[in-house]
Amino acid sequence: MTVKIIVCVKTNMDLQMVRIKNREPVLEAIPYKVGDLEKNALEAAIQIKEGGADATIVALTVAEANGKVKETMKEALAMGADEAVIVSDPALAATDQAAVAAAVAKAVEKVGGADLLLFGEGSTDNYSGQVGSRVAELLGVPQIGYARKISLSDAGVRVERSMDDMIETLEAPCPAAVTVVSEINEPRIPSLMNIMKAGKKPTAEFTLADLGLDAAAAATQKSVLSNLAEEQDRKHIMIEGDPEAQAAGLVDALIKEGVLGR
């Protein structure tokens, strides 16, 4: 069975490095990386390939504000994607999910479509979970969200997925769009050898114009009115002493606060 899997990747700022100053996020000079759930999606694709499918894995991204996207995407190639596709355009620097989905859908068509489109269930930074669904609608393909097991057969894709209160097993014919949850697998850490090889793998780059889209297609449909850290008013009382004294101190504090002994 020959299959083409396109893994749609968002690269996002390393959120561990975001600092807050006067409630404002300080975002200068923060490196980008492949999103956490997208690594799960890549790993899922690689495991399908390693499971015996004659699969080609394409890692596709829309650069958005990542000026070093080609460098970031080497991580996806080092993990095991066969090629990378990057949509990069100045108009995409400030955009939203609808515009990203439009670019993804056009890029998928540009590279000849796919049997399976994989996404993370949400991005590490914004977690909106919209792009996979929007792309599925744009391409007119069935979608299955929250996959924790994926298998491919001639009949299509079979997915076990984790919903709020139930586990569902679903099937859909290919092409289909599937989003994954983190428990699907443990993404591999690329070996040094594979990191070296990644630079030699093919990377195609497209602008919006290459995809038949104009700058208006990248316009955002939303306005962010504010984006500030939550205010926290906490007591910051450290309870000192040996474990016995610390335990006693905490119990006393909880009684005083009315949490215990009600």
Residue 22 lies near another protein (rule: CB under 8 A): no
Contacts for 259 with CB less than 8 Å, ≥ 6 apart: none
Q: Which stretch binds another protein (CB under 8 A): 42-50, 77-85, 121-129, 196-204?
A: 121-129
> Closest distance between another protein and the C-beta of residue 105, in Å?
10
Site string for another protein, 202-221 (x = CB under 8 A): ------------------xx
Q: Is 94 in the site for another protein (CB under 8 A)?
A: no
Residue 137 DSSP SS3:
helix
Shortest Cβ 235–another protein spacing (Å): 4
Applying CB under 8 A, which of residues 170, 197, 203, 204 lies at the interface with another protein? Answer: 170
Give Cα separations from 42 to 53, 58, 87 (angstroms). 15, 9, 18
Instruction: Yes or no: say if 131 and 148 are a contact pair by the CB < 8 Å rule.
Output: no
Exposed, middle or buried by CB within 10 Å (0-12, 13-18, 19+), for 25? middle
Stretch that binds another protein, among 57-65, 82-90, 110-118, 223-231 (CB under 8 A): 223-231
What's the closest the beta carbon of residue 83 comes to another protein, in angstroms?
26
* Burial bucket for residue 189 (CB in 10 Å: 0-12, 13-18, 19+): exposed
Write out the two tokens for 183: 């428990």
State which amino acid sits at residue 134: R
Question: How many Å apart are CA 95 and CA 181, to the nearest integer?
Answer: 25
Closest CB to another protein among 54 and 230? 230
Instruction: State the minimum distance, in angstroms, from the CB of residue 233 to another protein.
Output: 10
What does the per-residue mask of binding to another protein show for 123-162, with x meaning CB under 8 A?
Answer: -xxxxxxxxxxx-xxx---xxxxx-----------x---x
From residue 16, alpha-carbon distances to 73, 134, 174, 223 in Å are 19, 29, 37, 26
Instruction: State how far the Cα of 215 lies from the Cα of 193, in Å rounded to an integer.
Output: 40
Q: What residue type is assigned to position 30 of the chain? A: I
Q: What is the CA radius of gyration of the chain?
A: 22
* Among 182, 194, 203, 207, contact with another protein (rule: CB under 8 A): 182
Rounded to the nearest 5°, which phi and psi values hold at 214? -105, 175
Residues touching another protein: how many (CB under 8 A)? Answer: 82
The residue among 18 and 209 lying less far from another protein, judged by its C-beta, is 18
Residue 49 or 134 having the CB closest to another protein: 134
Residue 29 in the binding site for another protein (CB under 8 A) = no
Q: Near another protein by CB under 8 A, which window of 1-9, 54-62, 195-203, 230-238?
A: 230-238
Q: Does 200 bind another protein (CB under 8 A)?
A: no
The reply on whether position 167 binds another protein by CB under 8 A is: yes
Q: Which of residues 54-93 bind another protein (CB under 8 A)?
A: none
Position 27, amino acid: L
* Contact with another protein (CB under 8 A) among 1, 20, 94, 189: 20
